[in-house]
């Protein structure tokens, strides 16, 4: 049996002391947290494929956790910063969201997602940004030609630019790539309504409702369509259904030019102006041909 000498005892004690010091310096709690966030970020990215705007509670939770870690500097990757940009957008902080997306585009120029989200956001900022939005969306398509979302968003931008033939081509491509995508059907129907192809628009809105009955956007747009078609009872029925799901649509309807023909109806007034701003108090909207249509996921 080997005897311990004073020197070996001292050496062993020194090794133990070094090991204890290293153990204490290594933050196992932080490492565990980073591992958790990394796993959550991966889950968030997978869920965002099917739920790109984080409308579902599970996606929202994963995005919030990932975004918080990115904001605090604990876990910073292109994916976590994308989650943070999306969270900014959901909170109404579009300025911070766009600034972060521009940075991601610069740092990860081969990733299509930030181009698509940034393009869709710019497309809602006003007519002066539509051409820039178009450019970003086309870049997203170039990077990922078989991804339906940028085709769908591009169709919306082209519609707002008045380039209807190109818009229809993009909308049909989105539907080809994602035949059961609610956003693709809803937004193509918006284009068909603008083009006066009412029966076709009705079919696509109805299919969007069938795909997701609890989504208020196609219900609201169906109400717009039926108002234009002078099917007042149907318009009121679908508008009521949309408002039941989203109270904010009362205010939308109060200033929506598609409902101009319904404003004098007592049933419309009771539906829209009860618990809402009176007509003279509501904010005005532009009279663009399709200014009030509610695009889905664009």
List, as one string, the DSSP characters of 89-121. HHTT-HHHHHHHHHHHHHH-TT-HHHHHHHHHH
DSSP state of 282: S
**8 Å CB contact between 236 and 223:** yes
Asked: is 196-298 a CATH 1.10.3470 domain? The reply is: no
Mean per-residue pLDDT for 47-74? 91
Q: Is 178 helix (H, G, I), strand (E, B) or coil?
A: coil
Domain edges within the chain:
196-298
**Is 168 within 8 Å of 158 (Cβ atoms)?**
no
What's the half-sphere exposure (Cβ side, CA atoms, 13 Å) at 3? 2
Structure confidence at residue 295 (pLDDT): 62
Rounded Cα gap, residues 197 and 210, in angstroms = 20
Contact predicate 185/207, CB 8 Å: yes
Q: How far apart are CA 237 and CA 233, in angstroms?
A: 6
What pLDDT score was predicted for residue 176? Answer: 98
At 238-265, the pLDDT tens digits run: 999 999 999 999 999 999 999 999 999 9
What does the alpha-carbon distance between residue 86 and residue 98 come to, in Å, rounded to a whole number? 9
CB proximity list for 230: less than 8 A, separation 6 or greater: 261
Mean pLDDT of 30-34: 72
Question: Which alpha helices (DSSP H) does the chain contain, by range?
Answer: 6-25, 28-50, 57-71, 78-90, 94-107, 112-123, 130-143, 148-160, 164-177, 182-194, 198-211, 216-228, 232-245, 249-254, 266-273
Centroid of chain to Cα 148: 14
pLDDT band at 280 (very low <50, low <70, confident <90, very high): very low
Nearest-Å Rg of the Cα atoms of the chain is 26
Q: Give the span between the Cα atoms of 182 and 178, in whole angstroms.
A: 9
* DSSP 8-state code for residue 74: S
Residue 61 has pLDDT above 60, yes or no: yes
Res. 13: pLDDT tops 90: no
Distance CA 156, CA 171 (A): 8
**What residues contact residue 133 under an 8 Å CB cut-off, 6+ apart?**
119, 120, 121, 122, 123, 153, 157
Percent residues over pLDDT 90 in the chain: 73
Confidence of residue 279 (pLDDT cuts 50, 70, 90): very low
Rounded to whole angstroms, how far apart are CA atoms 167 and 87? 29
Q: How far is Cα 247 from Cα 249, in angstroms, rounded to an integer?
A: 5
């Amino acid at each position: 049996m080997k005897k311990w000498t004073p020197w070996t005892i001292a050496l062993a004690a020194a090794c133990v002391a070094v090991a204890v010091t290293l153990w204490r310096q290594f933050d196992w709690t932080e490492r565990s947290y980073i591992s958790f966030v990394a796993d959550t970020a991966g889950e968030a990215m997978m869920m965002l494929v099917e739920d790109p705007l984080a409308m579902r509670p599970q996606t929202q939770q994963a995005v919030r956790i990932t975004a918080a870690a990115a904001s605090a500097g604990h876990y910073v990757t292109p994916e976590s910063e994308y989650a943070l940009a999306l969270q900014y957008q959901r909170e109404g902080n579009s300025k911070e969201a766009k600034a972060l997306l521009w940075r991601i585009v610069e740092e990860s120029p081969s990733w299509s997602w930030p181009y698509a989200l940034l393009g869709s956001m710019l497309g809602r900022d006003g007519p002066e940004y539509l051409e820039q939005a178009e450019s970003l969306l086309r870049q997203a398509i170039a990077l990922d030609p078989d991804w339906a979302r940028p085709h769908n968003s591009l169709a919306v931008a082209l519609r707002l630019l008045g380039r209807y033939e190109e818009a229809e081509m993009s909308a049909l491509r989105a539907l080809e790539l994602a035949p059961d995508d609610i956003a693709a059907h809803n937004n193509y129907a918006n284009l068909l309504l603008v083009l006066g192809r009412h029966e076709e628009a009705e079919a696509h809105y109805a299919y969007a409702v069938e795909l997701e009955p609890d989504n208020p956007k196609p219900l609201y747009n169906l109400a717009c369509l039926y108002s234009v078609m002078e099917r007042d009872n149907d318009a009121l029925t679908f508008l009521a259904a949309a408002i039941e799901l989203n109270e904010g649509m009362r205010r939308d309807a109060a200033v929506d030019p598609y409902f101009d023909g319904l404003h004098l109806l007592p049933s419309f007034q009771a539906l829209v102006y009860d618990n809402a701003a009176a007509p003279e108090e509501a904010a005005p909207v532009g009279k663009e041909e399709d200014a009030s249509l509610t695009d889905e996921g664009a």
